Amino acid sequence: MADTPETVMFFLQSLADKALPAARKQYAELESFAQQQGAQLPLKAWDIAYWSERFRQAELKLSDEELKPFFPLERMLDALFHTAGQLFGLSMVPDQSIATWHEDVRFFWLQDDCWTTVRRFIHGPVCAQRQAGWGMDGCMPVTTANEGNHATAHGLPDLQLCSAGR
């Protein structure tokens, strides 16, 4: 872990300085491709994943389905948990006693390096059918009230991760 916040900020700024030109170039290519296919510009945030997949298929001859065997879900979760531990001192502790809305949904407590619960983490390998707080791939805080069988974590918001497909 970094010794000071300044060290972290220096690292992040130097990373951004190096990555930003390439990211802007790739985004311009994506916009150009999407526009040629009839998309309205500028692309909205929710359009990026769609057009990125179409671009990978058309230009790079790759698809998410072809890449999935190289990135199995369990290994990716292990990598996520390891990275969270290394970078932020977080542990993800599974809790099977918490009821969820689907058998494939898993519940974890996020704990800091002092074992203090800081968040709940709910992972569903397939997106729920437009439940409150769901609908876009990624990790997002849930701001809706916890209803039904959703547990509460000392009043802390959830983080939900939806992995599209299996």
The CATH number of residue 137's host domain is: 3.40.390.10
The CA distances from residue 115 to 5, 92, 93, 109, 157, in Å, are 22, 10, 10, 10, 18
Q: Is it the case that residue 104 has pLDDT exceeding 50? A: yes
Q: What is the pTM of this model?
A: 0.52
Q: Which domain-ending residue is among 25, 45, 69?
A: 69
- Mean pLDDT taken over the chain: 78
Q: What is the pLDDT of residue 146?
A: 38
User: How far apart (Å, rounded) are the C-alpha atoms in residues 91 and 113?
Assistant: 7
CB 110 within 8 A of CB 117: yes
Which range of residues forms the domain containing residue 20?
5-69
Tell me the pLDDT band of 158, cut-offs 50, 70 and 90.
Answer: low
Considering the domain architecture, whether residues 59 and 90 belong to the same structural domain is answered as no
Q: Is it the case that residue 26 has pLDDT exceeding 60? A: yes
Considering the domain architecture, whether residues 27 and 85 belong to the same structural domain is answered as no
Considering the domain architecture, whether residues 58 and 90 belong to the same structural domain is answered as no
